[in-house]
Amino acid sequence: MNHRQKGRLLLGGQYAGLTLWLIIALLPPVILLAAAFNETAMFRSPLALLTLRDFTLNNFATAFSAGDFWFYFRNSLIISVAAVIISVVVCVPMAYGLNKLRPRVRGALSFAVLAMRFLPHVVLALPLFLIFVDIGLSGSRVGLLLAHLAIHIPFAVWMMVGFFENVPKEMEEAAIVDGCGPWKLFWSISLPVVRPGLNALAILVFIMSWNEYLFALFLAGSDAQPLTVGITRFMGGVEAGAQYGVIAAYASLIVLPVIIFALLANRYIVSGMTAGAVKG
């Protein structure tokens, strides 16, 4: 075997490895989608569902009507969008400011942010439940939103600090010499540089809020329940029974927005998730 053949074989092996992982990564979501379009999804091999032998759209119709889809959808959407807006408004300035503090203070605050970023969600859900009962926020979207923000703020600040570190110091110094004030320095010098970071922040926070379940279980009461609670309730109810197809349709509708996001904005997701990787 000569050198060239060996190189070909190696490349083929690389593609084979990647394809194997691609199948493992995509099989569950693809089966879920396929099941949603099949008349009878139960007692059949999920692999056979992929042929779409008894194609139907009825599952979606049932999911919309019996599953109370739009009620939960509204809650999910309102909370996720509000979480994105507030996270951007609060966290971006904070991440910017952290870089400007004295090193000791900055170190202490960074540690606090990091410790909060690692926080187990249940340790917030329990006391928030009690606090919200006290102050009349239990079962409200505002309460649920606050709980989401408790997770988003440390995450977003940590991530944005990574982006702001890419702003060249010389750029800011030149602006100061030109008589640029602190607000303008932030708004017109640093912010444009971290624009991709803002996109990453918005997308990741939206996905995190959209996917959240634990807080909803504790805090949503009956009026503020999002889709993640909606589907578990639907599965527990009598309408669902053993209708795997309807459950799959419901589930597909929930994951569709995040999957579309991931396909369209994967660049930002990647940059956001790696932003905190190389700093202390």
Partner 1 sequence: MQNSSLNRYTRGWYFVLPGLIAMLLIVAFPLAIAFRFSLHDVFLYDFGNQWFVGLENYLYAINDPLFINSVRVTAIFTVANTLGCLVVGLLVAFLLSGKKIRFKAGWMALFLMPFVMTPVIVGITWRLFMWEPDFGVINQVLGFFGVSGPYWLTDRSTALFATALTNAWHLTPMAILVLYAALTTIPDETYEAARVDGAGPFQTLWYVVLPMIRAHILFVSIIIMTSAFREFDMVFTMTGGGPGRSTTVMSILAYNRGIANQDMGMANTIAFTMFMIMAVVAWLYIKVYKVNKEASS
Q: Nearest 10 degrees: CA dihedral of 115, 121, 123, 127?
A: 120
Q: Which of 75, 210, 225, 240 binds partner 1 (CB under 8 A)?
A: 210
Q: Which of 61, 85, 101, 142 binds partner 1 (CB under 8 A)?
A: 101
Q: Which of 64, 139, 213, 239 binds partner 1 (CB under 8 A)?
A: 213
Q: Which of 84, 231, 240, 249 binds partner 1 (CB under 8 A)?
A: 231
Residues 8-67 that bind partner 1 (CB under 8 A): 10-11, 14-15, 17-18, 21-22, 24-29, 31-32, 35, 43-47
Q: Which residues contact 113 (CB under 8 A, 6 or more apart)?
A: 98, 154, 157, 158
Nearest Cα neighbor of 175 from 167, 17, 90, 214 is: 167
CB 145 within 8 A of CB 83: yes
Burial class (CB in 10 A: 0-12, 13-18, 19+), 150: middle
Q: What b/e readout covers 195-209, taking b as 16+ CB neighbours within 10 angstroms?
A: eebbbbbbbbbbbbb
Q: Which of 1, 5, 104, 127 binds partner 1 (CB under 8 A)?
A: 127
Residue 251 near partner 1 by CB under 8 A? yes
Residue 100 near partner 1 by CB under 8 A? yes
Residues 132-191 that bind partner 1 (CB under 8 A): 133-134, 146-147, 149-150, 153-154, 157, 169, 172-173, 176, 182, 185-186
Q: Which of 120, 135, 178, 222 binds partner 1 (CB under 8 A)?
A: 120
Residue 1 near partner 1 by CB under 8 A? no
Residues 36 and 31: their CA atoms lie apart, in Å, by: 9
From 56-64, 66-74, 192-200, 260-268, give the range in contact with partner 1 by CB under 8 A: 260-268
CB 91 within 8 A of CB 153: yes
CB of 278 to partner 1, least distance (A): 6
CB 35 within 8 A of CB 244: yes
Q: Which of 9, 52, 119, 142 binds partner 1 (CB under 8 A)?
A: 119
Residues 70-99 that bind partner 1 (CB under 8 A): 90-91, 93-94, 96-99
